[in-house]
Amino acid sequence: MLLVSHFSILDIPQAVLRVSPQRWLTEGDAVTLICEVNGSSIGWTFSWYTVTVSDNRYYHLLPDRSKGTGGNYTVSSAALKHTGVYVCRAEKGKPTIYTWYSNTQLVRVTGFSPPVSLIISPSRAQHFTSVSLSVRCEDQNNSDRWTVRRYTDSWRLLEGCSSVWGSQTGSTCTINSTSISDTGVYWCQSESGETSQSVNITVHSDVILESPVHPVTEGDTLTLRCLYKNTSPLILTADFYKNGSLIQNQTTEMIISNVSNSHEGFYYCKHPERGESPKSWISVRGVSNESCLSHSESQISLLHTLSSVLAVCPYLLATVILIFKCCRMRGKTSDRLLISNIHSEGE
């Protein structure tokens, strides 16, 4: 007898994946992947996967703690190797009901002192479509052991620089003709898992905001411009916004001197006829520990010098007084001898 199932494709539940507390990690941080079905994990058994495009198998089951109840996958101490794109899937019952694969979540882990820098040319966070874009990995040894990797908003996959979207020469990846699908997160990575800090790149067709690629250091000057494709001049007057609020209107550039943490936020520009640019997050970092240490060491050195001088001063003062007294005594003795000689000659 043929059994007909009334379970349609529309009835397949959807798994939802989220990351806590954040997706951008430093080595040693803790991170938890949380998988839920209809807002709950009760009664479901979960599987965890990484997603790549290196071969035809896009989903790779995690070998450790790959299944379990509770819907949580926790890494207590993140390492460089944990950088990747993750998805989850759930199942329950007999016969088994499977969910769809969940949404993807990118988890990025960097070291305390990244050994390599990511250089973007042109040096800005937003770029026009149909232009050339260069992404270069640069370390102190000028080595070629780095590969540019990215996670794009369109494909939601972790990709290395390849002929599909770019061409790698040494440690430089070149996109000959950018498209909106190139929008995403870019970084450098070695075979051993070392990584650079990540950079958000946005590609847009008409209006873009010229903003810095990397975080701005406290105390520096931040300059923002609104750029328009296929116009002359390239920079025109526009309104500038932060977190949705107008902060400066009808100007060719916005300059913020002495940047502080209060200036962090999402910025964009808007032209009344040509439209508005995408939003870019401007991040502000404090003065490096090395600079603070150097400044502290200079102050300590100065204090040591002053202390030494002050410690020696009493002895110097006493020496000067003794020399002065000796000179006066010698002067008086000489005067007495001179007077004595005069009296002797007079007699």
More confident residue, 322 or 113: 113
Q: How confident is the model at residue 156 (pLDDT cuts 50, 70, 90)?
A: confident
DSSP 235: B
The answer to whether the CB of 236 falls within 8 A of the CB of 252 is: yes
Q: What pLDDT score does 239 carry? A: 97
Q: What pLDDT score does 6 carry? A: 52
Q: What pLDDT score does 54 carry? A: 56
Question: Which domains can be identified in the chain, with CATH numbers?
Answer: 9-109 (2.60.40.10), 113-205 (2.60.40.10), 206-287 (2.60.40.10)
How far apart are the C-alpha atoms of 320 and 171, rounded to whole Å? Answer: 68
Q: What pLDDT score does 213 carry? A: 94
Average pLDDT of the residues in 153-174? 87
Give the pairing type, strands 117-121 and 31-37: unpaired
Instruction: Give percent of the chain above pLDDT 90.
Output: 53
Among 214, 210, 224, 223, residue whose Cα is nearest residue 186? 214
Q: How confident is the model at residue 37 (pLDDT cuts 50, 70, 90)?
A: very high
Q: What pLDDT score does 35 carry? A: 95
More confident residue, 115 or 17: 17
115-128 pLDDT, tens digit each = 899 999 999 999 99
Q: What pLDDT score does 298 carry? A: 38
| Tokens 């390492």 -> residue | 79
Is residue 63 reached through a cis peptide bond, with omega within 30 degrees of 0 on the bond before it?
Answer: no
Q: What pLDDT score does 144 carry? A: 85
**Phi, psi for residue 267 in degrees, rounded to 5:** -115, 150
Listed ranges 55-59, 98-102, 298-302; the one with the highest mean pLDDT: 98-102
Q: Residue 311: is its pLDDT beyond 70?
A: no
Q: Write down how long the chain is.
A: 347
Q: Residue 347: is its pLDDT beyond 50?
A: no
More confident residue, 159 or 179: 179
Q: Residue 303: is its pLDDT beyond 50?
A: no
263-276 pLDDT, tens digit each = 999 999 999 999 99
> What does the mean pLDDT of the chain come to?
81
How far apart are the C-alpha atoms of 227 and 250, rounded to whole Å? Answer: 13
Q: What helix, strand, coil percent values describe the chain, rounded to 5?
A: 20, 40, 40
More confident residue, 289 or 156: 156
Q: Which two tokens stand for residue 193?
A: 């898992």
For residue 16, what is the enclosing H or E element?
Answer: strand 15-20
Q: Residue 300: is its pLDDT beyond 90?
A: no
Average pLDDT of the residues in 33-40? 92
Measured at the CA of 125, the angle between CA 119 and CA 131, to 5 degrees, comes to 85
Among 142, 121, 132, residue whose Cα is nearest residue 199? 121
- Whether this prediction's pTM lies above 0.75 is answered by no
Q: CA 186 → CA 158, 192, 199, 207, distances in Å? A: 10, 18, 5, 22
Q: Residue 5: is its pLDDT beyond 80?
A: no
CA dihedral (99, 101, 104, 110) positive or negative: positive
Q: How confident is the model at residue 192 (pLDDT cuts 50, 70, 90)?
A: confident
CB neighbour burial string for 252-268, b if at least 16 within 10 angstroms, e if fewer: eebebeebeeebbbebb
Among 34, 29, 122, 118, residue whose Cα is nearest residue 82? 29
Min mean pLDDT across 151-160, 233-242, 250-259, 318-327 is at 318-327
Q: Residue 330: is its pLDDT beyond 80?
A: no
**Rg over CA atoms, the chain:** 34
Can you tell me whether residue 114 is helix, strand or coil?
coil
